[in-house]
Each structure stands twice: as structure tokens, then as C-alpha cells.
């Protein structure tokens, strides 16, 4: 499968131009799978707005198109959240990605949205998806943790756990990455399937830098019959352009789609 994916990526590098396809418009040469599997990328913010959001949108759309795994549409504004994140509007959507969302997004019926995930759909949370709905316990429980704080951007060497999982299978035993490193309220190791953890506190200017630790960084979990993938990585624009990180994101989307 990885060889086939690489082939698809190489073929696209030759055949596909840059830039994203506008939502709802059929890209050139879609596979039947891409046409039938739909991923909705939510990038509305009610707080800090990451400058990496445009490259995140472009990257997720291109990953779906070049892999043939899914077709992407976008939900970018408060009005679009009100219209697109309802149970009826999501009827034909297979997975939702919260890509650097922040704050209270204004989902019309948050319990109904979480029930939609629990009915067997996929949810992907990236980076500040856990700086989103910080006062909504049901949402935090679905994603699987609670943002605490972060310090300066730092290089970390994440420990790869569950090494066969498609989000981390390409990384080897450790993943060296430079980004804004979130710290969470809880060690959620017992409640989720960890994919990336830190065995040392990041050297980010906060207390305990470099000391031994066991900190969550990326994981998968169930939500009813639905699947959840969360990665704390994804603050920096440069990271979104890194093929190694892109494979991490694509593997997570693949996992929540059950592929």
C-alpha cells in the first residue's frame, strides 16, 4: 500500500499543478474512491488564528486527491459552521477534520455533532483542535485530553508508539520535529492508543525542560462506533510543507476512515 501511495504521489508531482481545488469542484482525474469518500475540513477560528491554516487546507486537499482516498470540502466561517456542521448536512460526510480551529466554533448542536461521530464517522483534531471548546467537557472527552500550555517552539524527539499505525509507521522508532509543543492536563496513556509521546519535557523555556517525562503528543481512540485521531503537531507552516508530517496527517485521516 505504501508503494502504491508513493507511486500516486510521484504521478501527481508530475501531473498536478500547485494550489487547491475549490470546494465542490471536481479535480482532474479523481479516483472512484475519492469521489465517494468525503472529508470536511473545518478551519474556523474564534480565538488565535494560525498563519498555517491556508497551507493546512491546501495540504489536506492535495493528500486526499493524490492518494485517491477522499475528496475534500471546507468549512471556514461561523456561518458555514452553522450550515455545515449539522447532522443533516453531514449525512454524506465520512470524516471531519478540525485543522487549527480555536475557541467556541458555534456548532449549532454540539452533542448532536458528537453523536454523529459516535455513529461511526471519523474525527481528526490537529494542533489547536484542543484549543477549541475548552469549556465543553463532552468535546474534550471525545478528543481525549485537555490543553494545558505551551512554551517556545522547540525541537523534540518524539517516541513512536503503535509503530504499525499508518500515522506513524513511516517514522521509525523516533520522530525529530520542530514545532510548538503542546502540554496537556492529563497523561491519557490508559484511555487512548498512543502514537507519539515525549519521554522528556521539551526545551521550550518552561520549567522541567529536559527532565524525564511521559507526555502525550498524538493518539487514536474510539468514540462510540466512531474513530478519533489527534495530533498536537501542526502549528508551523514549514511543518505542513514537510512530506514526513504530511504522511502523519494522511495516515491519521486514513485511520479514521477505516482504510
Which chain residues interact with Zn ion by CB under 5 A?
180, 235
Nearer to Zn ion among residue 65 and residue 127 (C-beta): 127
- Smallest distance, Å, CB 180 to Zn ion? 4
| Residue whose C-alpha is closest to residue 237's, from 176, 189, 180, 186 | 180
Do the beta carbons of residue 48 and residue 229 sit within 8 Å?
Answer: no
- Smallest distance, Å, CB 6 to Zn ion? 30
- Smallest distance, Å, CB 202 to Zn ion? 14
Nearer to Zn ion among residue 37 and residue 128 (C-beta): 128
Q: Cα angle vertex 56, ends 55, 57, to 5°? A: 90
Give CA 225 to chain center in angstroms: 19
| Residue whose C-alpha is closest to residue 125's, from 33, 200, 226 | 226
- Smallest distance, Å, CB 44 to Zn ion? 16
- Smallest distance, Å, CB 128 to Zn ion? 5
| Pairing status of strand 182-184 against strand 38-42 | unpaired
Residue 59: burial class (beta carbons within 10 Å; 0-12, 13-18, 19+): buried
Nearer to Zn ion among residue 80 and residue 180 (C-beta): 180
Nearer to Zn ion among residue 223 and residue 236 (C-beta): 236
Q: Find the DSSP H helices in 68-197.
A: 78-84, 110-118, 137-143
| Residue whose C-alpha is closest to residue 145's, from 217, 80, 90 | 217
State the sign of the Cα–Cα–Cα–Cα dihedral 87, 90, 91, 94: negative
Nearest residue relative to Zn ion (C-beta): 235
Nearer to Zn ion among residue 57 and residue 94 (C-beta): 57
Nearer to Zn ion among residue 121 and residue 235 (C-beta): 235
Residue 147's beta-bridge partner residues? 184
Q: Cα angle vertex 224, ends 219, 225, to 5°? A: 90
- Smallest distance, Å, CB 237 to Zn ion? 11
Nearer to Zn ion among residue 100 and residue 246 (C-beta): 100
- The number of beta carbons lying within 10 Å of the beta carbon of residue 75 is 25
- Smallest distance, Å, CB 235 to Zn ion? 3
Amino acid at each position: 500500500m505504501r508503494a502504491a501511495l508513493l507511486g500516486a504521489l510521484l504521478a501527481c508531482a508530475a501531473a498536478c499543478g500547485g494550489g487547491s481545488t475549490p470546494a465542490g469542484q471536481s479535480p482532474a482525474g479523481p479516483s472512484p474512491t475519492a469521489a465517494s469518500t468525503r472529508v470536511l475540513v473545518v478551519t474556523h477560528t474564534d480565538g488565535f488564528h494560525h498563519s498555517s491554516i491556508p497551507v493546512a487546507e491546501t495540504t489536506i486537499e492535495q493528500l486526499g486527491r493524490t492518494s485517491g482516498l477522499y475528496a475534500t470540502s471546507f468549512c471556514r466561517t461561523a456561518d458555514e459552521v452553522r450550515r455545515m456542521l449539522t447532522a443533516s448536512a453531514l449525512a454524506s460526510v465520512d470524516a471531519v477534520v478540525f485543522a487549527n480551529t480555536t475557541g467556541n466554533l458555534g456548532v449549532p448542536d454540539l452533542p448532536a455533532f458528537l453523536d454523529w461521530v459516535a455513529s461511526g464517522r471519523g474525527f481528526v483534531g490537529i494542533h489547536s483542535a484542543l484549543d477549541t471548546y475548552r469549556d465543553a467537557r463532552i468535546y474534550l472527552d471525545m478528543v481525549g485530553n485537555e490543553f494545558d500550555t505551551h512554551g517556545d517552539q522547540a525541537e523534540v524527539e518524539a517516541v513512536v508508539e503503535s509503530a504499525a499505525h499508518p500515522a506513524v509507521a513511516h517514522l521509525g522508532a523516533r520522530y525529530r520535529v520542530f514545532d510548538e509543543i503542546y502540554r496537556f492536563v492529563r497523561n491519557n496513556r490508559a484511555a487512548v492508543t498512543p502514537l507519539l509521546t515525549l519521554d522528556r519535557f521539551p526545551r521550550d523555556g518552561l520549567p522541567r525542560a529536559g527532565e524525564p517525562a511521559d507526555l502525550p503528543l498524538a493518539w487514536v481512540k474510539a468514540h462510540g462506533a466512531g474513530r478519533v485521531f489527534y495530533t498536537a503537531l501542526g502549528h508551523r507552516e514549514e511543518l505542513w510543507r514537510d512530506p514526513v508530517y504530511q504522511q502523519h496527517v494522511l495516515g491519521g485521516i486514513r485511520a479514521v476512515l477505516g482504510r
